[in-house]
Structure 1
Amino acid sequence: MHDLDQLREWDAGAPPLDEETRTRVRARLLRAMREPTPVAVRRRRPVLRIALTGLVAAAVAGTVLVAVHDDGPPTRTATPPASSAPALENVSARTVLTKAAAYQRAHERQVAPRDDQFIYSKEIIKETEKGTGTTKTYVDEDWRSVDGSQRSWVMEIGKGWWSPPLKGNERVWPTQDWTLLSKLPTDPDKLLKAMRDPFDRTPDYSKPIRADEWEMINFSLQGLLYRVPVMPPGLRAAAYEALGKIPGVKATHGVKDARGRVGIGITYSGRVTLGTMIFDPETYAFLGFRDTRTSGDGKDMKTYIQLSYLDSWAIVDKAKVRPSAEG
């Protein structure tokens, strides 16, 4: 398993979990996220690579299972929570994300990949070490199987490897599976409730969101936005609007992106934050991400500021074959 990239044995031949068990497992995951020790999240810039294991059958025994591949790229440590944002910042964040959703709907490309195809993405990453000011630029190219039935090529900070196909009832979140993505609601309020458990096939939209569920909802929703470059019509716009409704999401003006453009940063101020999304202050087009990562321990620890953006994406028939526009 690579980088928390696969959710194993989703059904595992076991009966569906009852509501009490689901609640207990969610609580365990959230407690783990709130431990004083920083939460280590292995992820490719700028996206979350993690298996949401709160609902696997193994959790019936009361254990949340998260597996990490030890020989992967450097570990990213979650940023400590910021202080609670003033109400004005929350309103500003919602306004930015609402306008970003409108821009997305106006410029959305209509696509529908087949299960046997791949999602190609090319990402540019500009990384600066805080101590020395040394800056390096990486080009990461991925070819991800749409339905997970074929092995995928993934890269992180210039290093690449083959990710094996999913087995049996394995699931991964965020998913590239068009069939599963197409079943997610494009109503932002319903999407928020669906993100309580993104693998729940029959979410209860009538059930109010509890205060202790917002952390998980943000975790699932930002994973979707960070990880999936191609979505069914209306889903990304709905995700922007849903994110703006989450308590603790704030806006910061004057954030520079990888190309030096000054934009508005949107950040979640909870216990686990996945970096900052940057939007154009006039058009509200999405520009890219800003994040930090660390490597090493103790006196050898180094901190890096990362700026990244999606250069291009396409639907292709084979892995490791660039779309024609890429040559």
Structure 2
Amino acid sequence: MTRDLDELRRSHPAPHDITLSPLHRARLRSRVDLAIDRHEARRRVVRGIAAPATVLACATAVATVGVLALTGDSPAPRPEATRAVMTSLAATRVLDGAADRALASPAATVREDQFVYTRSAVITNEGRLGEDVVLGPVRERETWLGQDPGPFGWQDDLIRELGQDWPLESGGPSPAGARRPTYAWLAQLPTDPDALLDVLDRAAVPVDGQEQQQATFELIGSLVSEQLVPPDTAAALYRAVARIDGVEVEHGATDALGRRGVGITRTDARFRTRTTWIFDASTYELRGTRWFFTHPDGSPDTLFGATAVLETAVVDSAGQAPGSKT
């Protein structure tokens, strides 16, 4: 037996280690996410996170490895004291404005047998693996996310784009949670920003050297983007972002349709990526997301994905348009 094992090891040696540059790894993730996005398995990546996350663009690609914020179980951190606000005054004003807008919005009524519908404009990277980014044209995407809290509640979920309907495949049991956030699950999250951030830090697992705070930022992005969020939860999510270091304002940011607004952005210096959420400068409504590669030589960041949310509603069945009976 030992002789047979030795012969097997000689004839089938272990693969050698492969070292990829951060840019190559990120590009690889963007291509993986594009495939995931077309079958719509979350960040989620990715946001996931998509992107919420939630149905994410190739960049939502960034909701998880894919979107640079893969969610999962991790050891509970030590209890935190009240966290200080880490953002600049300008960024805090935007986040507070978004929180106040959320609180002024009516709460939705969403049954477990219903679907959250989102229609978005998206741009994704159409380039070849390992080569320069080539952005495709703006296209429309519709998604239907089921609200069944059970481990197989995603089985009727649907994405419609490129002239075709695709099932949203989760690949196995996936109960309501950070990887598949239903409206009811979001409603039961803590509404104290500090307590909420403790929960999200546990759910957002850094990938391949990614900063913990970036993983949490990406996860929050996947929860609020292309998603329906209870007002109290949305307000707490935005105020929790103000406790994340490195979050800045980007003036004149634009979504996938070129609509100008004010951006809330964070860069992961180690991972060499940047994610920007675009808010309406007057109403603080979240309009969309943009994802970038950054470069160590200081050259301009490279856009590799963007979204613009056009419509969100609650419908009774997958494939049903808002306002229709079937």
| Alpha-carbon spacing, 1:73–1:243, altered in 2? closer, same or farther (3 Å) | closer
Q: CA RMSD in A?
A: 4.4
Structure 1 CA distance for aligned equivalents of residues 253 and 217 of structure 2: 21
Cα shift readout 1:147-169 (whole Å, capped 9, x = no counterpart): 25242112567664112477556
Alignment-derived partner of residue 319 in structure 2: 320
Partner of 2:8: none
2:202 equivalent to 1:197:
yes
Measure, in 1, the Cα distance between the counterparts of 2:103 and 2:224: 15
Paired residue total: 249
Q: Distance in 2 between matches of 1:304 and 1:261?
A: 16
**Is 2:44 aligned against 1:49?**
yes
Inter-CA distance 274–235: structure 2 relative to 1 (3 Å threshold)? farther
Structure 1: gaps (5+ residues): 1-33, 53-71, 81-86, 200-211, 294-302
User: 8 Å contact 1:120–1:141 — kept in the other structure?
Assistant: yes
SS at structure 2 position matched to 1:38: helix
Of the three residues 104, 112, 120, the one matched with 1:123 is 120
1:244 to 242, 245, 264: 242
Scaled by the length of structure 2, the TM-score of the pair is 0.61
Distance 2:122 2:234 in 1: 22
CA distance in 2, matches of 1:326, 1:288: 29
Could you report, residue by residue, the CA deviation over 1:300-327 in whole angstroms, capped at 9, with x for unpaired residues? xxx7654421111211111112122699
Matched, 1:267 2:268: no
2:220 alignment partner, SS class: helix
Write the mapping of 1:101-180 to structure 2, written as runs, cut at 5 A.
101-106=99-104, 108-126=105-123, 136-147=137-148, 148-149=152-153, 150-155=155-160, 160-164=165-169, 168=173, 170=175, 173-180=178-185
SS at match of 2:222: helix
The one-character-per-residue Cα deviations of 1:91-132 (angstroms, maximum 9, x if unpaired) are 3222211111112222x1321211111111111225698999
Q: Does 1:181 align with 2:186?
A: yes
| Residues 151, 165 of structure 1: 8 Å contact kept | no
Normalised to the residue count of structure 1, the TM-score between the two structures is 0.61
SS in structure 2 at match of 1:313 = strand
SS in 2 for 1:253: strand
What is the match of residue 223 of structure 2?
A: 224
Q: Which has the larger radius of gyration?
A: 2
Query: Which range moves more in the overlay, 314-323 or 175-184?
Result: 175-184
Q: Counterparts of 1:173 and 1:274 in 2: how far apart (Å)? A: 21
Q: Which position in structure 1 is the counterpart of 2:98?
A: 100
- Report if the CA contact (8 A) 1:174-1:220 is conserved: no
Contact preservation (8 Å) 1:129, 1:304: no
